[in-house]
Amino acid sequence: MATRHKKRKMIPPMIQKDPGPWSQLLLEWLATLAVIIVFGLVMLYSASYTTGYLRMGSSLHYIRQQLICAAAGVILMIAFSFIDHRFLRWAAKPCYWIVLALLVITRFMPALNGCHRWIRLFGVTLQTSELAKFELILLCSGIAAKAEHVELKPGQRLNTKDWFRIRFWQQLVKPILPISLVAVLLIIEPHLSATILIVAIIGTILLLTGCGGIFTWICAAVGIVSLQPLLYLVKSLVGYMEGRLNSWSGSEDMKDQTLQSLYAIGSGGLTGRGLGNSVEKQLWLPESTNDFIFSVVCEELGFIGAVLIIVLFVVFILQGLKIAYQAENLYCTMVGIGIMAQIAWQVFCNIAVVTNTIPNTGISLPFFSSGGTSLMLLMMEMGVMVNIGRNGERAAQQREQRRAEREAARAAQDAERASRTIDLDAARRARGEV
Residue 336 lies in a domain: yes
Domain count for the chain, please give it. Answer: 1
Domain presence at residue 264? yes
Considering the chain, what is the average pLDDT of its residues? Answer: 83
In a domain, 158, yes or no: no
Helices 330-354, 372-420: axis angle to 10 degrees equals: 140
Rounded CA separation 383/377 (Å): 10
Q: What is the pLDDT of residue 259?
A: 83
Residue 150 pLDDT > 50 = yes
172-197 average pLDDT score? 85
3-state class (DSSP) for residue 83 = strand
Q: Which residues contact 102 (CB under 8 A, 6 or more apart)?
A: 119, 126, 128, 131
Q: What is the pLDDT of residue 392?
A: 92
Domain that holds residue 309: 34-148+163-412
- pLDDT one-digit tens code per residue, 317-335: 999 999 999 999 999 999 9
Is the pLDDT at 314 greater than 90? The verdict is yes
Mean pLDDT of 235-257: 52
* Confidence label for 154 from pLDDT (cuts 50, 70 and 90): low
Check whether 409 has a pLDDT greater than 50. yes
Question: What pLDDT sits at residue 253?
Answer: 42
275 assigned to some structural domain: yes
Does residue 12 sit within a domain?
Answer: no
419 in a domain, yes or no?
A: no
Q: How confident is the model at residue 1 (pLDDT cuts 50, 70, 90)?
A: very low
pLDDT tens digits, residue range 121-140?
A: 766 777 888 899 999 999 99
Long-range contacts of 47-56 (CB under 8 A, 24+ apart): 47/278, 47/281, 47/288, 47/289, 47/293, 47/296, 47/297, 48/281, 48/288, 48/289, 48/370, 50/281, 50/282, 50/283, 51/281, 51/283, 51/288, 51/289, 54/283
Which of 168-182, 289-303, 386-400 shows the lowest mean pLDDT across its residues?
Answer: 168-182
Q: What is the mean pLDDT of residues 175-194?
A: 85
Q: Which helix (H) or strand (E) holds 319?
A: helix 293-325
Mean pLDDT for 66-72 is 93
How many other C-beta atoms lie within 10 A of the C-beta of residue 120? 11
The model's confidence at residue 254, banded by pLDDT at 50, 70 and 90, is very low
Residue 430 domain flag: no
Between 99 and 414, the higher pLDDT residue: 99
CA distances in angstroms from 351 to 78, 354, 358, 365, 424, listed in the order given: 30, 5, 9, 8, 78
**Mean pLDDT score, 392-408:** 89
Percent of the chain's residues with pLDDT above 90? 37
Residue 346 pLDDT more than 90? yes
Tens of pLDDT, residues 262-275: 888 888 889 889 89
Residue 318 lies in a domain: yes
Answering whether pTM is above 0.95, one says: no
Of 144-158, 177-191, 315-329, 419-433, least confident by mean pLDDT is: 419-433
Instruction: Give the confidence band of 233 by pLDDT, cuts at 50, 70, 90.
Output: low
